[in-house]
């Protein structure tokens, strides 16, 4: 491996000049050419550790994700990665495996790696998160959840719930089961439901019951079975597409046909919902785009620019075949 000294010698200049060339400092065209030539010849690439050690900063953005095997996470990560690449930054992904402790640890661990900014895709924000974020003293952007103390990029979960609520109500549904998730997840567990409740206000005659499921498809199947045992709604509104998939499975097993015997909706816009049978009516979030936006924002934050405390990424209703028209 060649070092900056080798290059300097070969080019007949001082290493400080080479460094200046590398960092876009003032260098005459003549020496610029000489250096360029030598660098090409030797395939020289600066040692990032030495750079970071001296310059005391890196161009690495860290991202902590609760899990890797989720459509939303993958998409968001790809959006982040794309944008970061364009802006010459590196992405360091840390997977917490749905473990809160590991999430906190990861914050400290990434800080140790001297990342210059952190993207936090947490499902919930605890005091320990807050403390860790404060301790490590680097810019942080919360993605998918909001918190008054941290810059946040959120999806419009309330509007999503409202959109979907209005849609199914307009289709004439008046016996609706809402199959949600834990309220500790504010975005998914609370906001979507609140949006739905808002739509409900205009239909006081509508019967609604609330149920809760885990995030996994199998948990959803079981939750749906229990629900269907207890009540016969005309529609089950599911807090995520995965849960909707579970509900469809449970319905099919019971020979309830969708949508004639039971309507189902999701939230997310996962690829798979397009090819289920029937295709699922859902609200699509723009995960990939949100990822790009997040990357952009965190870089602004790192550069000391002002960024809105809260940015909202849109959503859109995709009407497909899983909701019966009762009108």
Smaller CB distance to DNA: residue 237 or 302?
302
252 is a site residue for DNA (CB under 7 A): no
How far apart are alpha carbons 250 and 218 in whole angstroms?
10
8 A C-beta contact, residue 310 and residue 146: yes
How far apart are alpha carbons 41 and 49 in whole angstroms?
23
Nearest approach in angstroms of CB 149 to its own copies is: 22
Nearest approach in angstroms of CB 89 to DNA is: 16
Smaller CB distance to its own copies: residue 63 or 168?
63
Q: Residue count at the site for DNA (CB under 7 A)?
A: 29
The residue written with tokens 């080479």 in the block is 18
- Following DSSP, what letter does each residue of 25-92 receive, concatenated? ----HHHHHHHHHHHHHHT----HHHHHHHH----EEEEEES-SS-HHHHHHHHHHHHHHHHTT-EEE
316 is a site residue for DNA (CB under 7 A): no
Smaller CB distance to its own copies: residue 22 or 310?
22
User: Which residue in the set 9, 22, 203, 317 belongs to the binding site for DNA (CB under 7 A)?
Assistant: 22
Give the DSSP H or E segment for 176: strand 175-180
The residue written with tokens 């993605």 in the block is 143
**Greatest CA separation for the chain:** 86
Question: Which positions ≥6 away from 239 have C-beta within 8 Å?
Answer: 178, 179, 180, 181, 188, 189, 192, 193, 213, 267
User: Which residue in the set 9, 20, 114, 175 belongs to the binding site for its own copies (CB under 8 A)?
Assistant: 114
State the DSSP code for 279.
P
Interacting partner of 13 out of DNA, its own copies, none (Cβ under 5 to 8 A depending on kind): DNA
5 is a site residue for its own copies (CB under 8 A): no
Interacting partner of 309 out of DNA, its own copies, none (Cβ under 5 to 8 A depending on kind): none
249 is a site residue for its own copies (CB under 8 A): yes
82 is a site residue for its own copies (CB under 8 A): yes
Alpha-carbon distances, residue 204 vs 2, 199, 208, 309 (angstroms): 75, 10, 10, 36
Interacting partner of 253 out of DNA, its own copies, none (Cβ under 5 to 8 A depending on kind): its own copies
Binding piece for its own copies, criterion CB under 8 A, among 19-27, 188-196, 229-237, 244-252: 244-252
User: Which residue in the set 43, 56, 201, 255 belongs to the binding site for DNA (CB under 7 A)?
Assistant: 56
Question: Which positions ≥6 away from 133 have C-beta within 8 Å?
Answer: 107, 118, 120, 140, 150
58 is a site residue for DNA (CB under 7 A): no
Binding piece for its own copies, criterion CB under 8 A, among 70-78, 167-175, 185-193, 225-233: 70-78
8 A C-beta contact, residue 49 and residue 56: no
8 A C-beta contact, residue 280 and residue 244: yes
81 is a site residue for its own copies (CB under 8 A): yes
List residues binding DNA (CB under 7 A). Answer: 1, 3-5, 12-17, 19-20, 22-23, 25-28, 30-31, 44, 46-47, 50-51, 53-56
List residues binding its own copies (CB under 8 A). Answer: 45, 47-50, 52-53, 67-69, 71, 74-75, 77-78, 81-82, 90-93, 95, 97, 108, 112-114, 217-218, 221, 245-246, 248-249, 252-253, 271-272, 274-277
């Amino acid at each position: 491996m060649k070092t900056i000294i080798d290059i300097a010698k070969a080019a007949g200049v001082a290493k400080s000049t080479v460094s200046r060339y590398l960092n876009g400092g003032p260098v005459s065209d003549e020496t610029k050419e000489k250096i360029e030539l030598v660098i090409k010849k030797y395939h020289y690439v600066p040692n990032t550790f030495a750079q970071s050690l001296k310059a005391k900063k890196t161009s690495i953005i860290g991202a902590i994700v609760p899990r890797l095997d989720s459509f939303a996470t993958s998409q968001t990560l790809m959006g982040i990665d794309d944008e970061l690449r364009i802006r010459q930054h590196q992405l360091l992904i840390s997977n917490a495996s749905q473990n809160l402790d590991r999430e906190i640890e990861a914050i400290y661990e990434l800080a140790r790696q001297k990342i210059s900014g952190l993207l936090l895709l947490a499902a919930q924000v605890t005091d320990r998160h807050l403390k860790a974020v404060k301790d490590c003293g680097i810019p942080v952007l919360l993605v998918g959840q909001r918190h008054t103390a941290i810059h946040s990029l959120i999806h419009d979960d309330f509007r999503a719930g409202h959109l979907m609520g209005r849609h199914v109500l307009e289709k004439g549904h008046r016996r609706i089961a809402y199959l949600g998730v834990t309220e500790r997840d504010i975005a998914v567990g609370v906001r979507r439901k609140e949006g739905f409740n808002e739509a409900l206000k205009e239909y006081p005659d509508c019967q609604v019951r609330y149920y809760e499921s885990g995030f996994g498809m199998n948990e959803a199947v079981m939750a749906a079975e229990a629900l269907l045992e207890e009540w016969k709604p005309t529609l089950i509104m599911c807090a995520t597409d995965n849960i909707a998939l579970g509900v469809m499975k449970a319905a099919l097993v019971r020979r309830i046909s969708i949508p004639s015997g039971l309507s189902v909706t999701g939230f997310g816009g996962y690829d798979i919902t397009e090819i289920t049978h029937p295709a699922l009516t859902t609200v699509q979030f723009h995960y990939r785009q949100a990822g790009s936006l997040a990357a952009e924002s965190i870089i602004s934050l790192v550069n000391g620019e002002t960024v809105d405390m809260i940015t909202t990424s849109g959503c859109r209703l995709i009407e497909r075949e899983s909701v019966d028209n009762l009108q």
